[in-house]
Amino acid sequence: MHQRIRLLLPRFIDLLFPLSCLGCGNEGAWLCTSCERSLAPLLANHCPFCEAKTNFGNTCDSCRGRHFLDGAISCVPYAQPLIRSLIHSWKYNGVAHVTEYLARFVGLSLNRARQSAQRMQAPILATGIGKQALRSLADTPALLRGEPILLEPIPLHPKREKERGFNQSLLLAQRLAGAGASWRLSRSLSRTKKTAAQATLSGTDRRTNIAAAFELSDPEAVSGQHVVLVDDVITTGSTADALAQLLKEAGSISVWALTIAYGHPAHA
Ligand SMILES: [Zn+2]
Ligand SMILES: [Zn+2]
């Protein structure tokens, strides 16, 4: 609790409540160097919908027909205790300062993914542009190919954002936009109303129901673009999928999700 209080008071409060590491409790920083180093990426290499093994988290061939999201780059399982504790403090205890550590971790994970893309492509490309080489290039998300992309934070419901004081996805997207020269922050999506209860709806109805809770304010801005939806955790992928449908109907070339973690928070 004192971590929240200290955000609301001037800096001299540091003397009364020194920062303590969310990993080990040592004083001095929200995340000490040794805990930060211990945080290793374990990128999702499965389809976000059925968990079939795919490169980089591409949506698998059999889910492609039913879904709009091209895939999800997710850095680590939500079950990882340190990442869970960081995300929890970030979202629920108002420790917005944690953004910098999480953005750095996402940056490190993307570098790993980029290296593995290069390793996979080198031998294939060396043998000439065949069917397999083209497939491998098409499998690599624009985010890892260094192409211009729009980072679109998944908006929070305005009431939730007011309670929390910030939208964690926007904070993360802002940090990431500063890190990639060809990455631009876009805020074309907004939330219009609370999503109705999902439990009784089928897959397609569920997506339509979620899509109705969002609005695309500037369809021209996303047309002809590679869009990356930024969020903290991906669970069922249904929100990202509904947004991907809106974006693709407006002409986006590809829509991926980029999240810190994957898995089900309730089961973690
Ligand atoms: Zn520590
Ligand atoms: Zn699948």
Q: In this predicted model, what pLDDT tens digit does every residue of 227-240 receive, in sequence order?
A: 999 999 999 999 99
Mean pLDDT of 107-127: 85
Percent of the chain residues topping a pLDDT of 70: 84
Structure confidence at residue 144 (pLDDT): 92
- Evaluate whether residue 191 is within a structural domain: yes
- Evaluate whether residue 7 is within a structural domain: yes
How many A from CA of 43 to the centre of ligand 1? 23
- Evaluate whether residue 268 is within a structural domain: no
Does residue 159 share a domain with residue 258? yes
- Domain residues for the domain of 16 are 1-38
Which ligand gives the minimal distance to the CA of 52? Answer: 2
Structure confidence at residue 212 (pLDDT): 84
- CA-to-CA distance for 185 and 173, rounded, in angstroms? 7
How many A from CA of 261 to the centre of ligand 2? 18
Q: Residue 64 in contact with residue 52, Cβ under 8 Å?
A: no
Tally of domains within the chain: 2
Cross-strand bridge partners of residue 22: none
Where residue 7 falls among pLDDT bands split at 50, 70, 90?
A: low
Does residue 33 share a domain with residue 49? no
Mean pLDDT of 48-71: 96
Does residue 99 share a domain with residue 26? no
How many A from CA of 168 to the centre of ligand 1? 22
Is residue 89's pLDDT more than 80? Answer: yes
Assign residue 189 a region: left if phi > 0, alpha if psi is -120 to 50, beta otherwise?
beta
Where residue 31 falls among pLDDT bands split at 50, 70, 90?
A: very high
Does residue 158 share a domain with residue 246? yes
Where residue 99 falls among pLDDT bands split at 50, 70, 90?
A: very high
Structure confidence at residue 268 (pLDDT): 41
Where residue 132 falls among pLDDT bands split at 50, 70, 90?
A: low
Does residue 136 share a domain with residue 203? yes
Structure confidence at residue 222 (pLDDT): 97
How many A from CA of 213 to the centre of ligand 2? 25
pTM: 0.87
- CA-to-CA distance for 85 and 30, rounded, in angstroms? 11
Is residue 267's pLDDT more than 50? Answer: no
Does residue 222 share a domain with residue 107? yes
Which ligand gives the minimal distance to the CA of 237? Answer: 2
- CA-to-CA distance for 4 and 223, rounded, in angstroms? 41
Is residue 194's pLDDT more than 90? Answer: no
Instruction: Provide the token pair at 200.
Output: 């009784």
Does residue 87 share a domain with residue 214? yes
Does residue 105 share a domain with residue 24? no
Mean pLDDT of 29-44: 94
- Evaluate whether residue 192 is within a structural domain: yes
Instruction: Provide the token pair at 8.
Output: 């609301």
Q: What is the dihedral of CA 243, 245, 250, 255, to 10 degrees?
A: 70
How many A from CA of 257 to the centre of ligand 1? 29
How many A from CA of 31 to the centre of ligand 1? 5
Structure confidence at residue 10 (pLDDT): 47
Where residue 91 falls among pLDDT bands split at 50, 70, 90?
A: confident
Does residue 49 share a domain with residue 32? no
Structure confidence at residue 196 (pLDDT): 59
How many A from CA of 3 to the centre of ligand 1? 16
Structure confidence at residue 155 (pLDDT): 93
Strand order in the sheet with 183-185: 71-77, 254-262, 226-234, 149-153, 183-185
How many A from CA of 59 to the centre of ligand 2? 6
Does residue 171 share a domain with residue 49? yes
Is residue 254's pLDDT more than 90? Answer: yes
Structure confidence at residue 1 (pLDDT): 46
Does residue 48 share a domain with residue 132? yes
- Evaluate whether residue 267 is within a structural domain: no
- Evaluate whether residue 140 is within a structural domain: yes
Does residue 101 share a domain with residue 34? no
Measured in residues, the chain has a length of 268
